[in-house]
Amino acid sequence: MEKITSVHNQRVKDWKKLQTRKQRTKTGTYLLDGWHLINEALNSQTAILSLIGTQEQFELHPDILTHELETYEVTKEIMADITDSVTPQGIAAVVAKPTDESEIPADLAGAWLLLDQIQDPGNIGTMIRTADAAGFVGVVAGHKTADIYAPKVVRSMQGSQFHLQLRQGNLFSWLEKFKQNGMPIYGTELNQDAQNFRELTPINNFALIMGNEGHGMQSDLLAQTTKNLYIPMDGQAESLNVAVSAGILMFQLKQNNH
């Protein structure tokens, strides 16, 4: 175990840079903050490239040192510097992003959530977490969606990246593959031809697209959908939060009865 006490140490600088999309893309890695996420990573066989903790945390949880990881003991000051958290737990890890994150699986099946130009990290993380709970197979973030490995997204998806397939890519290419596999693609846009989501029979293989918080889905993408769904609204509210809408639709489309 290497001990680092200076915030000017090159490793510390590199870890801190993982707060930027540029560095995450360049290195193919991102940072996990806190015990819950690190335990999820360990359980999922995800490669932990560096384990970073304070002396206090390693003393409280000595078991973590038995995993033979590349381990660094740092000061609380360094921990606060590298994490984006207001109250860092004193444990963090650098993990690898999935190497296949830009590939479309050849045997595409199951329920998939597609994110078109979603901007708010909390919304993105919450939708991934909800897709996991609804039993979705994967989530695809389109190129115009904010980075799914940004610290705020990682915090709000609460480890769901280890439970489903998380991909980034060109949504048009994905839609083509869904069509080739005979899977219906549901868009979400309130228009004259849209269908009340309650009229749909639950199914297992399909894609659901959620659009930007303010502007909705790209019209070119909308033109490629099998059907568009809407959630009938009572009251005078003009719209629903995108993560709430996604939750309502996902739990309607993919039902299970455990």
Length of the chain: 258
Using the minimum distance from each CB to a copy of itself, give the nearer residue, 110 or 142. Answer: 110
CA distance 246 to 254: 12
Closest-CA residue to 108 (of 47, 185, 163): 185
Please tell me the count of residues contacting a copy of itself according to CB under 8 A. 41
Instruction: State which of residues 98, 135, 169, 184 lies at the interface with a copy of itself (CB under 8 A).
Output: 135
Amino acid at position 146, single letter: A
**Candidates 24-32, 58-66, 101-109, 129-137 — which segment interacts with a copy of itself by CB under 8 A?**
129-137
Of the residues 122, 152, 189, 212, which one makes contact with a copy of itself according to CB under 8 A: 122
Supply the minimum distance, in Å, between the C-beta of residue 46 and a copy of itself: 14
- Residue 1 or 133: the one with the smaller Cβ distance to a copy of itself is 133
CB of 143 to a copy of itself, least distance (A): 25
Q: Which of 15, 58, 112, 136 binds a copy of itself (CB under 8 A)?
A: 136
Compute the distance between CA of residue 94 and CA of residue 52 in angstroms, rounded to an integer.
Answer: 8
> Environment class of residue 205 by beta-carbon count within 10 Å: exposed (0-12), middle (13-18) or buried (19+)?
middle
Query: How many Å separate Cα 64 from the centre of its chain?
Result: 25
In terms of CB distance, is 50 or 156 closer to a copy of itself?
A: 156
- The alpha carbon of 52 is separated from its chain's Cα centroid by a whole number of angstroms, namely 22
Query: Quick check: 41 and 48 in contact, CB under 8 A?
Result: yes
Q: State which of residues 53, 132, 175, 178 lies at the interface with a copy of itself (CB under 8 A).
A: 132
- Could you say which of 73, 229, 245, 253 contacts a copy of itself (CB under 8 A)? 245
User: Residue from 66, 180, 192, 257 that binds a copy of itself (CB under 8 A)?
Assistant: 257
The kind and range of the H/E element at 225 are none
Residue 50 Cβ vs a copy of itself, minimum distance, rounded to whole Å = 25
| Distance separating alpha carbons of residues 87 and 130, to the nearest angstrom | 25
**CB nearer a copy of itself, residue 74 or residue 157:** 157
Compute the least distance from the CB of residue 155 to a copy of itself, in Å.
12
Rounded to 5 degrees, φ, ψ at 129 are -60, -40
Amino acid identity for residue 160 in this structure: S
For residues 214 and 140, give the distance between their C-alpha atoms in angstroms, rounded to a whole number: 20
Measured CA to CA, the distance from residue 240 to residue 97 in angstroms comes to 32
169 lines the binding site for a copy of itself (CB under 8 A): no
CB of 78 or CB of 124, closer to a copy of itself = 124
| Residue for token pair 């909308």 | 222
- Does residue 86 belong to the site contacting a copy of itself (CB under 8 A)? no
Q: Is 167 a residue that touches a copy of itself (CB under 8 A)?
A: no
Q: Which residues bind a copy of itself (CB under 8 A)?
A: 122, 126, 129-136, 156, 158, 160, 162-164, 196, 198, 231-241, 243-248, 251, 254-258
